[in-house]
Amino acid sequence: MFKIFRNIDKKEYRPQNRGALEIFKYIGPGLLVTVGFIDPGNWASNLAAGADFGYALLWMVTLSTIMLILLQHNVAHLGIATGLCLSEAATIHLKPFYARLLLVSGMGASISTSLAEILGGAIALNMLFKIPTKVGALLTLIFVVIMLFSNSYRVIEKWIIAFVSIIGLSFLYELSLVNVAWGEAAKGWVTPSFPEGSMLVIMSVLGAVVMPHNLFLHSEVIQSRQWNLKDDRVIKKQLKYEFLDTLTSMLIGWAINSAMIILAAATFFRTKTPVSELQQAKELLIPLLGGNASVVFAVALLFAGIASTITSGMAAGSIFAGMYKEPYDIKDNHSRLGVLISLVVAFIIILLIKNPFHGLLISQMILSIQLPITIFSQVYLTSSEKVMGKYKNKISSKYILYALGAIVTALNVGLLVSLF
Number of alpha carbons in the 13 Å side-chain half-sphere of residue 307 = 28
- pLDDT at residue 9, as a whole number: 36
Indicate whether 361 pLDDT > 90. no
DSSP 276: -
Contact assessment for residue 311 and residue 221, using Cβ atoms and an 8 Å cutoff: no
Alpha-carbon Rg for the chain, nearest whole angstrom, is: 20
- pLDDT at residue 310, as a whole number: 94
* CA torsion, ordered 277, 280, 284, 289, to nearest 10 deg: 80
What percentage of the chain exceeds 70 in pLDDT? 87
* pLDDT tens-digit map of 169-200: 999 999 999 999 999 999 999 999 999 988 87
Sign of CA dihedral 263, 291, 133, 161: negative
285 or 114: which carries more pLDDT confidence? Answer: 114
Confidence of residue 289 (pLDDT cuts 50, 70, 90): confident
Q: How far apart are CA 170 and CA 165, in angstroms?
A: 9
Confidence of residue 124 (pLDDT cuts 50, 70, 90): very high
Q: How far apart are CA 394 and CA 383, in angstroms?
A: 7
Q: How far apart are CA 74 and CA 327, in angstroms?
A: 19
Burial 194-228 (b: 16+ CB within 10 A, else e): eeeebbbbbbbbbbbbbbbbbbbbbbbbbbbbbbb
- pLDDT at residue 407, as a whole number: 85
- pLDDT at residue 357, as a whole number: 63
Q: Give DSSP secondary structure letters for 154-174.
A: HHHHHHHHHHHHHHHHHHHHH
* pLDDT tens-digit map of 366-393: 777 788 899 999 999 999 999 999 999 9
Burial 252-289 (b: 16+ CB within 10 A, else e): bbbebbbbbbbbbbbbbbbeeeebebbbbbbebbeebb
Q: How far apart are CA 381 and CA 198, in angstroms?
A: 34
DSSP 16: P
* CA neighbor of 240 nearest in space, from 11, 402, 20: 20
Counted residue by residue, the chain has a size of 420
Instruction: Give the count of beta carbons closer than 10 Å to the beta carbon of residue 97.
Output: 8
Mean pLDDT on 109-119: 91
Average confidence score pLDDT of the chain: 85
Domains of the chain, each with CATH number or no CATH: 37-419 (1.20.1740.10)
* pLDDT tens-digit map of 53-97: 999 999 999 998 998 899 999 999 999 989 899 999 999 999 999
Its pTM stands at: 0.86
Instruction: Give the count of beta carbons closer than 10 Å to the beta carbon of residue 385.
Output: 10
